[in-house]
Amino acid sequence: MFKKILIANRGEIAVRIIRTCKTLGIKTIAVYSEADSNALHVKMADEAFLIGNPRISESYLNISKILEVAVSSKAEAIHPGYGLLSENAEFARQCEEAAIVFIGPPSHIIEQMGSKIKSRKTMEAAGIPIISGITYPLKDVENAISAASQIGYPIMLKASAGGGGIGIQIARSEDELRKIFSGNQRRAESFFGDGSMFVEQYIENPRHIEIQVIADNTGKTLHLWERECSIQRRHQKVVEEAPSTFLDEETRVLMGETAVKAAKSIGYTNIGTIEFLIDEEKNFYFLEMNTRLQVEHPVTEEITGIDLVAEQIKIAAGYQLTYNQDEVKRDGHAIEVRIYAEDPKTFFPSPGTITKLELPEGSNIRHELAVKEQYVVTPFYDPMIAKLIVKGSSRAEAITTLQEALLKYKVEGIKTNIPMLQAISTHPEYKKGNTSTHFISKYL
């Protein structure tokens, strides 16, 4: 097992990783920007190093500086968390060259699955169902219109290197596609350094269901069941739960087997997620693969009892999986909501000082956060400040616990999306399980 791990991340996920490392007896190294000098992950780690100013490009995305710290502090491995450098193939490659273990899949797999165009080709070749679309980058808007005419409107315009809902937009006609193409292409170039765009058929009223996969270095690959992540705003997830109320057992098993097949087809190792869109007839289609830990991983942990961060570390250290597919059981129902420092009406970020913080407590309530009273939420980073996870023996019980917990969750000094989360959790359609990707726009 590793003796020392550097965590190339910040906020609640850095705290989450440190917590598991402590249980495994592993020393941790934190890196931080000037804006995070008083952050909880800095105080919790055994060692901490300043790596730059608040700008992400000059701190948390500074590969050379992070690797310099890793080498000088004698870290044996680096955990990238999620976001930031977690799906950066070049970072993983440089870790490999520096003989530092990257806790995740090999760099060539990250590169292969990081491009939505490449991953579509790969999955199609492996016999995984994909949405009708193109598998080449579009040169310009005329190229896009030609492709869309072959597929048929409505279509979804997407950035090949995209993520977090950036560079994605629906076009229901040629006029709409002309209006949105250049703006989305510019955003993709700005955020990802790659303006490659493609189009695929738009599925009306879909659900977003993903399968957690895990694979060791011997090729043993399993799935840890599904998470439903359909409630989104601006293509970003807000509420996630497991299991999905929409799936029947036959579809659930088939999706799990398909995800395992997809992971095996590329020789995947470590933790990953195969994301699917599923239509009203329960036809499912490959959307993308995230070659990292997901924000919503706690709901899988709650229903399976498996610590996914611990599994990541063990696999990276060369350990083999000690259980088989039929031993991965589901127990109860778990729901996670993301708490953002943002105006619940406009979704604009709401930086500032948290003057009061009261958290609900209970045996079926779990918190993932790295903020406290008097903590300053800066405008430099993602506005998600915490995650609230609840569990029940049934979905109804979990929803009741969630409603009660949100009523007791107090954050003052900044605006948060807690009112919106309360509205979702008490909505009759949510209680019924009618949670398509249009839920917020349709009901709220």
Residues carrying an active site annotation = 292
Q: Token pair of 83, please? A: 């976001």
Kindly give, in sequence order, each residue whose CB lies less than 8 Å from that of residue 443, ignoring residues fewer than 6 positions away. Answer: 427, 429
Do you know the residue count of the chain? 444
Closest by Cα among 326, 297, 300, 284 to 243: 300
Report the C-alpha gap between 442 and 236 in whole angstroms. Answer: 16
Report the C-alpha gap between 375 and 363 in whole angstroms. Answer: 26
Q: Token pair of 203, please? A: 């599925």
What secondary structure letter does DSSP report for 238?
Answer: E
Q: CA neighbours within 13 Å on the CB side: how many for 58? A: 7
Phi/psi at 272 (nearest 5 deg)? -160, 170
Q: Helices in 266-350 by DSSP H: which ranges?
A: 297-304, 308-316
Q: Token pair of 252, please? A: 């659930």
Report the C-alpha gap between 444 and 434 in whole angstroms. Answer: 13
**Four-residue CA torsion sign, 230, 234, 239, 241:** positive
> Environment class of residue 14 by beta-carbon count within 10 Å: exposed (0-12), middle (13-18) or buried (19+)?
buried
Q: Helices in 169-328 by DSSP H: which ranges?
A: 174-192, 249-265, 297-304, 308-316
Report the C-alpha gap between 115 and 288 in whole angstroms. Answer: 9
